[in-house]
Amino acid sequence: MVEEADSPDQLIDIIAPAIPMTAEPSSTWLVVIVTVCVAVLSAVLIGLFWRWYGSARRQTMRRLKRLNTAYRNQLVSSRDVSYWLAYLFKQHLKTNQLAPGIRLPASLTSEQSRWDSFMQRLHDTRYAPLIIGDQDIRGLIAEAEYWFRRYP
């Protein structure tokens, strides 16, 4: 006679399902905390990079590099370069007019004479009646790069 089984454990051909693998609650929180920290750190680094990349000094340096490339490829004349340099300095200094008497900040007062001579050279090349030499323009561009890096 066949006896009836009262529980599934008594049946030989039925295997109980395996217990599902679940992560411990403490390790789940650890994964969440690490993920949030990585996301916040990434956002901060992206923000800092964007702030650096979009800064006024960085934009001016990119414009100066494009101007230098255009001059080397003879797309702009030497007179245009001097006017563009003056325009870039007006924007960088947030002033309407460039004059040789512009005072430097306190951190750069030791270089006031160099600044004045650069401003005078820039003024002379803008209003020179003759064609400006290639070495003069290259010197102006190099000096402008120096001042864009130094001026706050």
At 114-142, the pLDDT tens digits run 999 999 999 988 888 887 888 989 999 99
**Residue 85: which of 152, 151, 148 has the closest Cα?**
148
> For residue 26, what pLDDT is reported?
66
Asked if residue 2 has pLDDT above 70, the reply is no
User: Which are the contacts of 98, defined by CB distance < 8 A and separation ≥ 6?
Assistant: 86, 89, 90, 119, 122, 123
Asked if residue 24 has pLDDT above 70, the reply is no
> For residue 35, what pLDDT is reported?
92
**Residue 147: which of 79, 102, 127, 132 has the closest Cα?**
102
Tell me which of 96 and 38 has the higher pLDDT.
38
- Mean predicted confidence (pLDDT) in 108-115: 90
> For residue 96, what pLDDT is reported?
85
> For residue 23, what pLDDT is reported?
59
> For residue 150, what pLDDT is reported?
87
Asked if residue 106 has pLDDT above 60, the reply is yes
User: Which are the contacts of 105, defined by CB distance < 8 A and separation ≥ 6?
Assistant: 151, 152
pLDDT digits over 41-99, tens only? Answer: 999 999 988 887 778 888 889 999 999 999 999 999 988 999 999 999 998 888 888 87
> For residue 12, what pLDDT is reported?
64
